[in-house]
């Protein structure tokens, strides 16, 4: 697996929120700031968490907590990240996921649509953004969006997942208009649309409150928000990677409001860039606390930060983090799934978005706390502008069924609200499966 970044481009990879939309500053521009960054500091003495994670007494204590249904603390979470015994971590997380979800693995048949890649912000990790006038910038007309969605009708699509750039000049009314047109064209399809960042942006361009924005979108057909825009909430990290105005206060305000209107929403975390495990723990605990209050999060989705190898149509590397970062290894990803599952005692599902992890790791993740795989994706631009691992960008129902059954789980198709659409047969025994030719996956 390639983990190195493209060298010698002279682009800034890190720094405070970019001062302008076209921030391709020389690497030296933020030099002093970079040295202060946690991922670049010299190795430190072992932390309390690192010491505790190898202590047999501590392990028994964690096992007792998990098996007894007791909530894990911040210190527990940090110590779990410091533990390199993946099999032990996986076993604990698997216990928790089995307790909550049995041997089921959920999926849905959905399609991702990005109405526009034009964005006013320049988040440091983002390969998707384009500025007005760039050759590869696009914005779909309402009819185009509907035509794209209609292409999937024969796939028994149940959900459209729509996220977009923060377009500087598109009028607010465009968004409810698209939703209304999609609702009319595909009446049985749930519309899971917009990050909290976009809702915050709509407040700004419409002059309406989030309350009014959500009401109008719900009236136009909105079923759920998406979980994006969360990245890492801790400001120590966030200030270096996020270039829009939506941080924890507004992100949580908007999801709280959505939950109060009856929407159930996902929550995400972008990991594997410049954050430390303690920032991931902090991120999860903020969400856990909010979930105690609203009960509206239905799934947690750890998203692996991606390097940008194929954003090459115009030769511009937009991901400014990648020159000095690596991507999280598969082991780190499995650990992140497992620890998240263990910390989240109040969110029912943990999802692996296989487009960001590869199919093999997605299958393995089912034994590390994951019980939900993102479904059939015919086109997904945000990730696939930043992927060269040969991960397919299309997976259909039959592919998912095979993947899930081959790992020994029962596939269950769900809708956006995690209600069961269809239960499939449990997998055949291992002995039966070994007698058949095996699929080969990336
Ligand atoms: S992550 Fe979203 S808000 Fe940030 S630059 Fe990319 S498209 Fe824009």
What confidence tens digit (pLDDT) does each residue in 153-184 have? 777 788 999 999 999 999 999 999 999 999 99
Please determine, for residue 89, whether its predicted confidence score (pLDDT) is greater than 50: yes
How many angstroms separate the CA atoms of 354 and 195, rounded? 20
CB-CB contact of 304 with 357 (8 Å): yes
Probe residue for ligand 1, chosen from 18, 120, 166, 242 as the CB with the greatest number of ligand atoms within 8 Å = 166
What confidence tens digit (pLDDT) does each residue in 123-146 have? 999 989 999 999 889 999 999 999
pLDDT of res. 277: 96
Residues 25, 325, 130, 133: what is their CA dihedral angle, to the nearest 10 degrees? Answer: 30
Instruction: Confirm or reject: Cβ of 129 under 6 Å from ligand 1.
Output: yes
Which residue from 278, 222, 210, 288 is spatially nearest to 246, judged by alpha carbons? 210
**Which residues in 209-304 belong to E strands, given as ranges?**
222-224, 265-271, 297-304
Please determine, for residue 430, whether its predicted confidence score (pLDDT) is greater than 80: no
Nearest CA to ligand 1 atom 2: 165
Probe residue for ligand 1, chosen from 244, 273, 380 as the CB with the greatest number of ligand atoms within 8 Å = 244
Written as six digits, the tokens of 103 are 């041997």
Written as six digits, the tokens of 50 are 């690192």
Going by the DSSP 8-state scheme, the letter that residue 156 receives in this structure is T
**CA–CA distances in Å: residue 331 to residues 26, 81, 196, 230:** 33, 11, 30, 23
pLDDT of res. 376: 59
Q: Find the mean pLDDT for residues 302-306.
A: 93
Lowest-confidence segment of 124-133, 138-147, 295-304, 313-322 by average pLDDT: 313-322
Cα of 151 to ligand 1 centre, how many Å?
27
Cα of 3 to ligand 1 centre, how many Å?
23
Please determine, for residue 41, whether its predicted confidence score (pLDDT) is greater than 50: no
pLDDT of res. 319: 85
Instruction: Confirm or reject: Cβ of 166 under 6 Å from ligand 1.
Output: yes
Question: Residue 422's CB: how many other CB atoms inside 10 A?
Answer: 10
Going by the DSSP 8-state scheme, the letter that residue 40 receives in this structure is G
Cα of 76 to ligand 1 centre, how many Å?
33
Share of the chain above pLDDT 70, in %: 83
Cα of 176 to ligand 1 centre, how many Å?
21
- 238's CB contacts (< 8 A; 6+ apart) are 231, 232, 247
Instruction: Confirm or reject: Cβ of 128 under 6 Å from ligand 1.
Output: yes
Please determine, for residue 381, whether its predicted confidence score (pLDDT) is greater than 70: no
Nearest CA to ligand 1 atom 3: 121
Lowest-confidence segment of 42-51, 243-252, 371-380 by average pLDDT: 42-51
Cα of 117 to ligand 1 centre, how many Å?
9
How many angstroms separate the CA atoms of 395 and 398, rounded? 8
pLDDT of res. 441: 60
Please determine, for residue 6, whether its predicted confidence score (pLDDT) is greater than 50: no
Q: Find the mean pLDDT for residues 318-330.
A: 87
Question: Residue 160's CB: how many other CB atoms inside 10 A?
Answer: 25
Please determine, for residue 5, whether its predicted confidence score (pLDDT) is greater than 50: no
How many angstroms separate the CA atoms of 326 and 360, rounded? 20
Q: Roughly how many angstroms between the first and final C-alpha of the chain, as a whole number? A: 11
Length of the chain equals 442
Cα of 289 to ligand 1 centre, how many Å?
26
Instruction: Confirm or reject: Cβ of 244 under 6 Å from ligand 1.
Output: yes
Please determine, for residue 210, whether its predicted confidence score (pLDDT) is greater than 70: yes
Q: Which position has the token pair 């239960």?
A: 423
Cα of 58 to ligand 1 centre, how many Å?
41
DSSP line for 352-374: E-HHHH-HHHHHHHTTTT--EEE
How many angstroms separate the CA atoms of 377 and 160, rounded? 10
Instruction: Confirm or reject: Cβ of 120 under 6 Å from ligand 1.
Output: no
Instruction: Confirm or reject: Cβ of 62 under 6 Å from ligand 1.
Output: no
What confidence tens digit (pLDDT) does each residue in 277-290 have? 999 999 999 999 99
Sign of the Cα torsion 108, 114, 119, 124 reads: positive
Cα of 244 to ligand 1 centre, how many Å?
8
Q: Find the mean pLDDT for residues 174-196.
A: 96
Nearest CA to ligand 1 atom 4: 123
Instruction: Confirm or reject: Cβ of 354 under 6 Å from ligand 1.
Output: no
Cα of 123 to ligand 1 centre, how many Å?
5
Please determine, for residue 314, whether its predicted confidence score (pLDDT) is greater than 90: no
Please determine, for residue 75, whether its predicted confidence score (pLDDT) is greater than 50: yes
pLDDT of res. 235: 97
pLDDT of res. 440: 62
Kindly indicate the confidence band of residue 309, based on its pLDDT and cuts at 50, 70 and 90: low
pLDDT of res. 324: 82
Rounded to the nearest integer, the mean pLDDT of the chain is 85
CB-CB contact of 243 with 18 (8 Å): yes
What's the pTM?
0.86
Angle (deg, nearest 10), helices 74-82 and 56-68: 120
What confidence tens digit (pLDDT) does each residue in 253-267 have? 999 999 999 999 999
Instruction: Confirm or reject: Cβ of 305 under 6 Å from ligand 1.
Output: no
Written as six digits, the tokens of 279 are 């920032």
Rg of the chain over Cα atoms, rounded to whole angstroms, equals: 21
Kindly indicate the confidence band of residue 52, based on its pLDDT and cuts at 50, 70 and 90: confident
Cα of 205 to ligand 1 centre, how many Å?
16
Cα of 194 to ligand 1 centre, how many Å?
12
Closest-lying ligand 1 atom to the alpha carbon of residue 125? 1
Instruction: Confirm or reject: Cβ of 122 under 6 Å from ligand 1.
Output: yes
How many angstroms separate the CA atoms of 396 and 287, rounded? 32
Probe residue for ligand 1, chosen from 126, 204, 318, 320 as the CB with the greatest number of ligand atoms within 8 Å = 126
Nearest CA to ligand 1 atom 7: 165
Cα of 23 to ligand 1 centre, how many Å?
13
Cα of 126 to ligand 1 centre, how many Å?
6
């Amino acid at each position: 697996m390639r983990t190195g970044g493209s060298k010698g481009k002279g682009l800034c990879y890190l720094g405070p929120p970019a001062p302008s939309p076209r921030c391709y500053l020389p690497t030296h521009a933020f030099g002093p700031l970079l040295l202060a960054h946690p991922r670049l500091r010299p190795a430190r003495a072992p932390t309390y968490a690192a010491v505790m994670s190898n202590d047999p007494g501590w392990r028994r204590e964690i096992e007792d907590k998990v098996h007894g249904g007791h909530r894990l603390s911040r210190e527990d979470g940090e110590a779990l990240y410091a533990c390199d015994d993946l099999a032990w971590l996986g076993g604990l997380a698997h216990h928790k996921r089995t307790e909550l979800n049995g041997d089921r693995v959920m999926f849905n048949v959905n399609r991702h649509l990005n109405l526009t890649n034009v964005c006013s912000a320049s988040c440091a990790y983002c390969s998707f953004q384009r500025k007005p006038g760039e050759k590869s910038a696009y914005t779909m007309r309402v009819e185009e969006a509907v035509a794209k969605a209609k292409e999937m009708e024969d796939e028994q699509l149940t959900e459209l997942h729509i996220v977009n750039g923060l377009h500087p000049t598109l009028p607010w009314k465009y968004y409810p208009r698209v939703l209304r047109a999609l609702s009319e064209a595909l009446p049985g399809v749930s519309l899971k649309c917009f990050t909290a960042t976009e809702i915050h942006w709509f407040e700004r361009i419409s002059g309406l409150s989030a309350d009014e924005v959500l009401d109008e979108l719900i009236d136009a057909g909105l079923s759920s928000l998406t979980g994006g825009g969360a990245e890492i909430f801790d400001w120590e990290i966030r200030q270096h990677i996020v270039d829009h105005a939506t941080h924890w206060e507004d992100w949580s305000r908007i999801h709280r409001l959505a939950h109060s209107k009856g929407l159930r929403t996902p929550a995400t975390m972008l990991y594997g860039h410049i954050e430390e495990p303690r920032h991931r723990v902090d991120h999860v605990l903020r969400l856990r606390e909010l979930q105690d209050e609203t009960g509206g999060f239905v799934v947690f989705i750890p998203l692996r930060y991606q390097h940008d190898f194929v954003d090459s149509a115009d030769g511009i590397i937009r991901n400014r983090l990648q020159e000095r970062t690596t991507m999280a290894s598969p082991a780190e990803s499995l650990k992140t799934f497992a620890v998240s599952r263990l910390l989240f005692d109040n969110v029912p599902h943990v999802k692996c978005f296989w487009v960001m992890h590869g199919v093999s790791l997605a299958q393995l993740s089912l034994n590390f706390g994951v019980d939900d795989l993102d479904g059939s994706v015919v086109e997904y631009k945000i990730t696939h502008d930043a992927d060269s691992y040969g991960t397919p960008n299309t997976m259909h129902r039959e592919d998912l069924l095979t993947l899930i059954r081959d790992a020994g789980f029962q596939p269950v198709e769900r809708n956006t609200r995690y209600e069961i659409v269809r239960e499939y047969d449990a997998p055949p025994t291992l002995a039966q499966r070994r007698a058949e030719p095996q699929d080969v996956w990336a």
